[in-house]
Structure 1
Amino acid sequence: MMKRTFRWLRGGVGVLAWLVVSCGAAVGPRPGSSTAVPSTDLVPGPFVTGVWNPEDLIRVPNTPWVLVSAMKSERAPGALLAVDVRYPTESLSLWPRPAPSAAPGDSAPVFAPHGIDVRPIGDGKFELLVVDHGGGEFIDRFSLEARGDDAPVIRFVGRVVLPAGTSANGVAATADGGFVMTSMFDPRDSDFVAKFAAARPTGSVWRWSEAAGWTELPTPRLSGANGIIVTRDGKHVVVAEWAGRRLWRIPLASDATDRPRSVAVPFLPDNLRWTHAGDLLLAGQTTAPEELFGCEPERCPKGFVVARVDADILSMTPILRGDDASAAKSGFLAATGAIQVGETIWVGSFMGKSLGCYEPRTPVERTAALQPTRCFRPAR
Structure 2
Amino acid sequence: MKPLPLVGLAAFLLLMGTVGPRAAGCDPVGNIRFVCDQSGPEDLVVVPGSDWVLSSGMTTSGAIHLVNAKDRTSTILFPSASAKERLDKKTYNTCPGPIDPAEKDKFRAHGLYLRPGRGSVHTVYLVHHGNRESIEVFEFDGHAKPPVLTWVGCAVAPDPIGLNSVVGLPDGGFITTNFSPRNQDAAGRGRMMQGENNGELWEWHTDSGWQKVPGSESAGPNGLEISKDGKTLYIGGWGSQSVIRLSRGQTPVKRDSVQVGFRVDNVRWGPDNMLLAAGQGGTAPSQTSNVAKVDPNTLKAQEVVRQPYGDALTAGTVAIQIGKDIWVGSVRGDRIAIFPAK
TM range (shorter): 0.7 to 0.9
User: 1:60 is matched with which residue: 43, 47, 53?
Assistant: 47
Equivalence for 2:176:
181
Amino acid at match of 2:199: G
Following superposition of structure 1 onto structure 2, how do residues 290-369 of structure 1 map, counting pairs within 5 Å? 302-324=287-309, 327=310, 330-360=311-341
Q: Which has the higher contact order (CA 8 A, sep 6+)?
A: 1
Cα distance in 2 for residues equivalent to 1:351 and 1:185: 19
SS in 2 for 1:192: helix
Cα distance in 2 for residues equivalent to 1:98 and 1:153: 10
Equivalence for 2:96:
none
SS in 1 for 2:314: coil
SS in 2 for 1:164: coil
- CA 1:188–1:137 in 2, change beyond 3 Å: closer, same or farther? same
- CA 1:357–1:107 in 2, change beyond 3 Å: closer, same or farther? closer
Cα distance in 2 for residues equivalent to 1:345 and 1:48: 12
Q: Give the drift of 1:209.
A: 1.3
Q: CA RMSD in A?
A: 2.6
Amino acid at match of 1:205: L
Q: Give the drift of 1:98.
A: 5.5
Equivalence for 2:20:
13
User: 1:48 is matched with which residue: 8, 26, 35?
Assistant: 35
Q: Give the drift of 1:228.
A: 0.2
TM-score (norm 1): 0.75
Amino acid at match of 1:266: G
Amino acid at match of 1:322: Q
User: 1:145 is matched with which residue: 129, 134, 141?
Assistant: 141
* Preserved CA contact (<8 Å) 1:175 1:234: no
Equivalence for 1:244:
240
Amino acid at match of 1:277: D
Q: Give the drift of 1:232.
A: 2.0
Superimposed CA distance per residue, residues 228-280 of structure 1 (whole angstroms, 9 cap, x where no aligned partner): 00012210100011012121111111322x51112222110111111111001
Which region of structure 1 is more displaced relative to structure 2, 171-180 or 131-140? Answer: 171-180
Q: Give the drift of 1:48.
A: 1.4
User: 1:113 is matched with which residue: 109, 112, 123?
Assistant: 109
Cα distance in 2 for residues equivalent to 1:119 and 1:140: 13
Equivalence for 2:87:
none
SS in 2 for 1:54: coil
Superimposed CA distance per residue, residues 180-212 of structure 1 (whole angstroms, 9 cap, x where no aligned partner): 100012213324322223321110011111222
Equivalence for 2:66:
82
Cα distance in 2 for residues equivalent to 1:360 and 1:277: 12
- CA 1:172–1:99 in 2, change beyond 3 Å: closer, same or farther? closer
Higher Cα Rg: structure 1 or 2?
Answer: 1
Cα distance in 2 for residues equivalent to 1:98 and 1:108: 15
- CA 1:220–1:96 in 2, change beyond 3 Å: closer, same or farther? closer
Q: Give the drift of 1:107.
A: 6.9
* Preserved CA contact (<8 Å) 1:113 1:134: no
Equivalence for 1:136:
132
Amino acid at match of 1:275: G
Identity, in percent, stands at 30
TM-score (norm 2): 0.83
Equivalence for 1:169:
164
* Preserved CA contact (<8 Å) 2:324 2:341: yes
Provide structure 1 residue ranges, at least 5 long, that are not aligned to the other structure.
17-42, 101-105, 292-298, 362-380
Q: Give the drift of 1:87.
A: 1.1
**2:275 aligned with 1:280:** yes
User: 1:267 is matched with which residue: 262, 274, 280?
Assistant: 262
SS in 2 for 1:121: coil
Equivalence for 2:206:
210
